[in-house]
Amino acid sequence: MGRMLDEIDRRILKALVADGRLSNTELAREVGLSPSPCWQRVRRLEEEGIISGYTAVLDHAALGVGETVMVEVSLDRHDAEVLEEFGRVMAEIPEVLEVYLMAGDYDYFVKIAANGTQGVEAFLRERLFKVAGLRHSKSSFSLRCLKKVVSFVPD
């Protein structure tokens, strides 16, 4: 379990989750600190791995890859080598947004962004179906996203 965050750390994290482009001066003002202690806290949160990076959130539809597809994958074997190799291969594919090793009815959950049904078919035929050890896959298309967050700050 991670360390307990104090209220100031929570305010810093919530402000950065809402706008990762805040300058240290703006962030300090928003959380009620002077710039130097604010910067020290942010550095500590980074060093502890609580803040793991800063990134731009892209609109995939505006980039022509507006289909979001969730693929449930079952593998034919469950030894460490097969499981790790599948995860490694999926992680290298650009259109794969997320990959999860699962416990339950299937082995992996893979979320992709694609350019229409042709893009999904290309991913399945040219990428997924060529991976050794694949036994079964089931794809579901997202109709629309009702909530999308990159991170949240627990209470």
Residue-wise pLDDT tens digits, 106-144: 999 999 999 999 999 999 999 999 999 999 999 999 999
Residue 1: the pLDDT is 58
Give the SS3 label for residue 138.
strand
Residue 27 · residue 42 · CB < 8 Å = yes
Query: In whole numbers, what is the pLDDT of the chain averaged over residues?
Result: 95
Residue 4: the pLDDT is 87
Q: Is it true that 7-47 and 67-141 share their CATH fold?
A: no
Which two tokens mark 63? 């980039």
- Residue 86 is inside which H or E element, if any? helix 80-91
Task: Give me the sheet containing 96-101, strands edge to edge.
Answer: 96-101, 108-114, 67-75, 134-141
| DSSP state letter for 107 | S
Residue 128: the pLDDT is 98
Average pLDDT over residues 22-47: 98
d(Cα 37, Cα 42) in Å, to the nearest integer? 9
CATH class entry, domain 67-141? alpha beta
Average pLDDT over residues 62-82: 95
d(Cα 38, Cα 44) in Å, to the nearest integer? 10
pLDDT in tens, 35-54: 999 999 999 999 999 999 99
Domain edges within the chain: 7-47, 67-141
Residue 153: the pLDDT is 93
Q: Which fold has domain 7-47?
A: Arc Repressor Mutant, subunit A (1.10.10)
